[in-house]
Amino acid sequence: TDDRQLLEVNNIEVIYNHVILVLKGVSLSVPKGGITALLGGNGAGKTTTLKAISNLLQSERGEITKGSILYHGQPVANLSPSDLVRKGVIQVMEGRHCFEHLTVEENLMTGAYTRRDGRAAVEADLELVYSYFPRLKERRRSQAGYTSGGEQQMCAIGRALMSRPETILLDEPSMGLAPQLVEEIFGIVRSLNENEGVSFLLAEQNTNVALRFAHYGYILESGRVVMDGPAAELRENPDVKEFYLGMS
């Protein structure tokens, strides 16, 4: 085990409904302080990989049948999602998933449910979230269901931040958003990484934007990692250019 690595996924296999083999031996590592991108087309297995890490496969009748997942060198495959949150790993699901009937601020506060460090600390972090997402502050009394798609994505990331995570697993943050908003959200991800030291593993179909903001990338195809490398190298790779950068 390399102690610069926060999260290590070793050769995992995932099967849905006992028969459908979706991940066929995926390995990857997320270093402390990095932004790592998990790339690949529709159905390549990105979401499945994130759900395997945060132990969210059960409700989808999926299971890890081979391999191991380590966080700080310790196996985490049997931890519940909330135990994992206590260890510092939180997933922001694809499709944003805010509680539509709650206000933006109430949504953010639900992110603090695992914390035991008192109201003052939680309120300080609410201000921290608002400093990264001024739009959420403006909209804090609005029902989340009435905010825009971009604001809901910000709200979902903000809610994750309220658990004081060390690592955020971010699924398809660009989905359904206009290019300018995608830039804005990735810019905030970069500042959270640089200023707050949050590490990210982000799944993205938008290879172009992901490789501009990430430090390292893995490309998945049909449940296998077919290529990985520093983002700057992947951006210049002829196959990546031909098959992925043209698409998005």
Q: Applying CB under 6 A, which residues contact ligand ATP?
A: 16-17, 20, 22, 40, 42-48, 60, 62, 205
The least CB distance from residue 205 to ligand ATP, in Å, is 6
List, in sequence order, the alpha helices (H) in the chain: 46-53, 81-87, 104-110, 119-132, 134-138, 149-161, 179-196, 207-213, 231-236, 238-240
Q: Which is nearer to ligand ATP, 197 or 246 (CB)?
A: 246
What does the DSSP assignment read for 86-142? Answer: HHTEEEE-TT----TTSBHHHHHHHTTTT--S-HHHHHHHHHHHHHH-HHHHHTTTS
Q: Which is nearer to ligand ATP, 71 or 218 (CB)?
A: 218
The least CB distance from residue 82 to ligand ATP, in Å, is 21
Look up residue 235 and give its DSSP letter: H
The least CB distance from residue 60 to ligand ATP, in Å, is 4
The least CB distance from residue 214 to ligand ATP, in Å, is 16
